[in-house]
Structure 1
Amino acid sequence: MCYDIAFTVSIESIYKYLPGLKAPGSLDIHFDPTWHRIGMSYPQWPVVTNHNGLKLEKYTWGPVPKMLDTLEKVKRQRQLFLNARSEKVLENGTMWNAIRHQRCLIPATGFFEYRQIPGWKNKVAYYIKPKEQELFFIAGLWAMSNSWDVDKPDRIPAFTLLTRAANPLMAQIHNGGDNAGRMPMMLTTALAKQWLQPQLTDTNIRGIIQYELPATQLECWPVNSVRKVKPDDAAVIAPVAYEGLPALQV
């Protein structure tokens, strides 16, 4: 699944792709560029919604479903809701189906995934990004969640990031673990705008989540592990040469 993302440009870059956000007060949001955030830290992240008008706000990554009704359950299980399989959005009886009309966009400049190499002790981290645009949008869903924070007792807006079956390139990288063969639900700018339209039918939603970004539109390279504490700067995505690393088939 996708738990590691980056946003390395200025927040104003989002307005180039979604000019409708240029409304009074919309530029008040502040978000410093970051080369890596991990979902399990439940960070705040800029998201775009069309809830009572097109807005750019900061939501917390990781909703807290009602079933997580104790702090102990939250600590054990919240990370399971950082991502949602796009297939579940239209599956009756799921939490994601219940909030399918609460759609959002998660802007990012890249994301990280780990590749399992036969015979290697450790997996190899890769940084993945679109070839020809400085940022892209991932489809998401949002919900009001219990914060479980003594300093913020009120319910807070939180989001989950949708994933889909991996394209041929990502299938080679995300090839191990319980959720192998997945990638973020990356959208074209046109589909991103459609995703936010409030009048979408289930048929419309199905059409959008069936989109697969072609592998030829992505570029990637090996990096050092991002699961170790390090400065939040460009060194995080610096290419690393691993001796004997099998080439990816593109």
Structure 2
Amino acid sequence: MCYDIAFTANIESIFKYLPQLQASGDLDIHFDPTWHKIGMSYPQWPVITNNNGLKLEKYTWGPVPKMLDTIEKVKRQRQLFLNARSEKVLENGTMWNAIRHQRCLVPATGFFEYRQISGWKNKVAYYIKSKEQDVFFIAGLWALSNSWDVDKPGRIPTFTLLTRHANPLMAQIHNGGDNAGRMPLMLTNQLAQEWIKPGLTDTDIREILQYELPAGQLDYWPVNSVRKVKPDDAAVIAPAAYEGLPAIQV
């Protein structure tokens, strides 16, 4: 699944790809560039919604569904909701179906996945980004969640990233673990605008969920592990050399 993302651009760069957002009014948001955030730290992230007008705000990554009704359950299970399988959005009875009309866009400049290589002890981290543009949009869903914070007892806006079956490139990179063969649901700019339109029918939603970004539109390279504590700077995404690393077939 997608638990590691980056946004290394200026927040204003989003307007280049979603110009109607700039004309929507109150956009007083500050967000420092980051080369890596892990979902399990439940960071705040810029999110675009279209609830009574386009808005760019900071939401917390990781919903807390009602079933997590104790702090122990939250600590143990919240990470399971960082991502949502796109196939579940229109499946009756799921949490994601219940909030399918609470759609959002999650801007990013890149994300990380780990590749499993036969005979190697450790997986190899890869950084993946769009070849076409500096900022791209991942489909998401938002929800108001119990914060479980005694200093902030009210509900807070949260979001999840949608994932889908991997394209041929990502199937080779994200090839191990229980959730192998998944990638974020990256949208074209046109589909991104469609995704946050109010009043989409389930048929409309289904058509967008079926989109698969062509492998040829992605750039990628191996990096050092992003799960180790390090400064949040460009060194995080610097290419790393691994002796004997098998080539990816594209």
TM range (shorter): over 0.9
Q: Could you list the runs of 5+ residues in structure 2 that have no partner in the other structure?
A: none
1:47 Cα deviation from its structure 2 partner: 0.3
What is residue 212 of structure 1 aligned with on the other side?
A: 212
Q: What does 1:222-233 correspond to in 2, within 5 Å?
A: 222-233=222-233
- 1:237 alignment partner AA: I
- 1:149 alignment partner AA: D
> Could you state the TM-score of these two structures normalised by the residue count of structure 2?
0.99
Q: State how far apart, in whole Å, the 2-side matches of 1:103 and 1:132 are.
A: 24
Q: State how far apart, in whole Å, the 2-side matches of 1:25 and 1:104 are.
A: 17
* Alignment root-mean-square deviation, CA: 0.5
Query: Deviation digits for residues 50-100 of structure 1, max 9, x if unmatched?
Result: 011100000000000000000000000000000000000000000000000
What is residue 76 of structure 2 aligned with on the other side?
A: 76
> Could you state the TM-score of these two structures normalised by the residue count of structure 1?
0.99
1:44 Cα deviation from its structure 2 partner: 0.2
Runs of at least 4 residues off by over 3 Å: none
Query: Deviation digits for residues 121-161 of structure 1, max 9, x if unmatched?
Result: 00000000011200100000000000011121100000000
What is residue 149 of structure 2 aligned with on the other side?
A: 149
Q: State how far apart, in whole Å, the 2-side matches of 1:24 and 1:164 are.
A: 33
CA contact (8 A) 2:26 2:55 kept: no
Helix, strand or coil at the partner of 1:220: strand
Q: State how far apart, in whole Å, the 2-side matches of 1:163 and 1:197 are.
A: 20
1:47 aligns with 2:75: no
1:170 aligns with 2:170: yes
1:187 aligns with 2:162: no
What is residue 110 of structure 1 aligned with on the other side?
A: 110
Helix, strand or coil at the partner of 2:97: helix
What is residue 127 of structure 1 aligned with on the other side?
A: 127
1:25 Cα deviation from its structure 2 partner: 2.1
1:108 Cα deviation from its structure 2 partner: 0.1
Q: State how far apart, in whole Å, the 1-side matches of 2:12 and 2:2 are.
A: 25
What is residue 197 of structure 1 aligned with on the other side?
A: 197
Helix, strand or coil at the partner of 1:76: helix
Helix, strand or coil at the partner of 1:190: helix
What is residue 26 of structure 2 aligned with on the other side?
A: 25
Query: Deviation digits for residues 170-224 of structure 1, max 9, x if unmatched?
Result: 0000000000000000000000000001111000000000000000100100000
1:20 Cα deviation from its structure 2 partner: 1.5
Q: Which moved more, 1:28-37 or 1:14-23?
A: 14-23
Query: Deviation digits for residues 25-47 of structure 1, max 9, x if unmatched?
Result: 21x10000000000000000000
What is residue 36 of structure 2 aligned with on the other side?
A: 36
Helix, strand or coil at the partner of 1:90: coil
1:24 Cα deviation from its structure 2 partner: 2.8
Quick one: percent identity of the two aligned structures? Answer: 85
Q: State how far apart, in whole Å, the 1-side matches of 2:52 and 2:37 are.
A: 28
Q: State how far apart, in whole Å, the 2-side matches of 1:24 and 1:133 are.
A: 25
Q: State how far apart, in whole Å, the 2-side matches of 1:49 and 1:8 are.
A: 21
Q: Could you list the runs of 5+ residues in structure 1 that have no partner in the other structure?
A: none
- 1:238 alignment partner AA: A
1:21 Cα deviation from its structure 2 partner: 1.4
